[in-house]
Amino acid sequence: MIPIDEIRKKARLWLGSDFNEETRKEVSEMLEKDEKRLVDAFYQDLEFGTGGLRGIMGAGTNRMNTYTLGMATQGLSNYIMKQCGNKGISVAIAHDCRNNSRLFAETAADIFSANGFQVYLFESLRPTPELSFAIRHYRCQSGVVITASHNPPEYNGYKAYWDDGGQVIAPHDTGIIREVRKIRSVSEIKSEGRKDKIRIIGKETDDAFLKEVLKMSINPEVIKKHSEMGIVYTPIHGTGIMMIPPALRLFGFKNIISVPEQDKVDGNFPTVKSPNPEEPDALKMAIRKAVETGAELVMASDPDADRLGIACKNRKGEFILLNGNQTCALLIYYILSQYKEKKKYKGNEYIIKTIVTSDLIDTIAEKYDVKCYNVLTGFKFFAELIRKLEGKRKYIGGGEESYGFLPGDYVRDKDAVASCALIAEATAWAKSHNMTLYELLIDICLKNGLYKEKLINIVRKGTEGADDIKTMMRGYRNDPPKNINNSKVVIINDYEKLISTDLLTGKKSAIDQEKSDVLQFFLEDKSKISVRPSGTEPKIKFYFSVNTTLKSDDKFEETEKLLDQRIDGIITDMKLI
């Protein structure tokens, strides 16, 4: 921590004429009355990481505001010009529903245009996947979306993309960070926007995007038969309201039921504790609406509409939430089985999942003789692989355990728009085979095995917490467990060293990935434990995956409980509770 005198000196710079009156007033109040808030706002600079910026909004170097965003945008502009020259450059900009998102998007547009770039700025909020699409559609060199995903209302963020519509990866990520760090003063920002360089985009881009979404439909004839199937959808106050209902209607669904209170765009997210479709509370109102209306499916998207949450009826007619692994398995099974049924395979298709996503996906892919690639956590690695294989193999779908899925390659990031439409189609397809979505999931497990996963986050805040997390990872790496829950550890994958070790034979083999601080332990009973520090939050994540044969559909719930007990045994043995 830098001394308080240094922090005060740093803060006083924000009282100068380069800053607006509102900012100067906020900083003055902190200097006079609120030292704790002052320290938090200025003790460090908001870090531009590999994904961009994310932080609490307000005045200060450690806050999201037009100045920290402006410095980041100028640094990004400088990097783009170094890579692409200073002529003919174009960028696309989108934003979500959060407080100040429009202001931040317009600020970025002014700076890019002041640097001579052609800017394609959406007229109002749009989903992150549409931003990814727009970059490719308008042949831009880069793009940004203003969003903090499902963070609390006081947060906002800034994600940077490259010309393929994917989030920036090496070497661009480190190159951009270097250029951003070179900007030491707001006086270096070119902020006099050129209106002639800013093109407002909307319906034309929406239509082009939805045209690609519609191409993901595999069984339009099934939807015609079940077009009145009740679907409750909630955007949880976010951008999904712009594109997901239109996509569902375009697919042919007519009975789309809204949650009016949550259709209202609001960056304060007044009806939920967290606008996160992973959280049961976020879907409560939608499930209540589904019960009232007799709907068969509930869907929700997060504020920037790149992730989706699903609820469907179990055999008792009660709505249950599906987790990200289950949703991914349903979508992959539906795509692969229907590709086979429709004779769509050409032999070069592939899918992608992350190394911490259910291995049920690998099993399904193997059954359909489709290549499944495993990549590190984050959809930027999906985009990187799709780009690498472009023209050689055909990407047809992929997802991750954290509720993200991407069908088709016209977008290069998670896409809740097409995914919601496709999960609705899968539900209609199941209905045409006298099954519910839940019963389809059971059928998948009967054919491929029942897999159960669980995630535990252990939070360690502050510098001491960061040291604790490093110590934990060092301990697992230098003195790995030999047995976990009475099952022998047989393989260890170390993604920092990029070495896989077979403990039964002693054989070591190389892992073909980028380096990452991740460890995986594979047990004799086929259990898998993955450990990694979070890249965005002060926590260490433990992913548990267990599986067994499902002998009959009436044993589904019972077998799930047995697998839950095995996970609990692993957690207890590793002393994580």
Strands 483-484 and 155-162: unpaired
Kind and range of the H or E run holding 278 = none
Contact residues for 461 (Cβ-Cβ < 8 A; gap 6+) = 538
Q: d(Cα 14, Cα 20) in Å, to the nearest integer?
A: 9
359, two tokens: 């291995």
Q: d(Cα 219, Cα 334) in Å, to the nearest integer?
A: 10
CA distances from 238 to 268, 360, 407 (A): 10, 31, 21
Angle, CA of 13, 64 and 272, to the nearest 5°: 145
Strands 394-400 and 404-406: antiparallel
Q: d(Cα 74, Cα 29) in Å, to the nearest integer?
A: 29
Q: Respond yes or no: is residue 149 known to be catalytic.
A: yes
Q: d(Cα 160, Cα 169) in Å, to the nearest integer?
A: 10
Considering 101, 113, 132, 149, which one is annotated as catalytic? 149
Note whether 546 and 527 are within 8 A (CB): yes
Contact residues for 160 (Cβ-Cβ < 8 A; gap 6+) = 51, 52, 76, 142, 143, 144, 167, 168, 176
Contact residues for 89 (Cβ-Cβ < 8 A; gap 6+) = 80, 81, 116, 117, 118, 141, 142
Q: What are the start-end ranges of the E strands in 409-526?
A: 450-459, 483-484, 487-494, 499-502, 508-510, 519-523
Q: What are the start-end ranges of the E strands in 294-449?
A: 297-301, 308-313, 319-322, 349-354, 371-375, 394-400, 404-406
- DSSP code per residue over 130-177: HHHHHHHHTT-SEEEEE--TTS-TTEEEEEEEETTSSBP-TTHHHHHH
Catalytic residues: 149
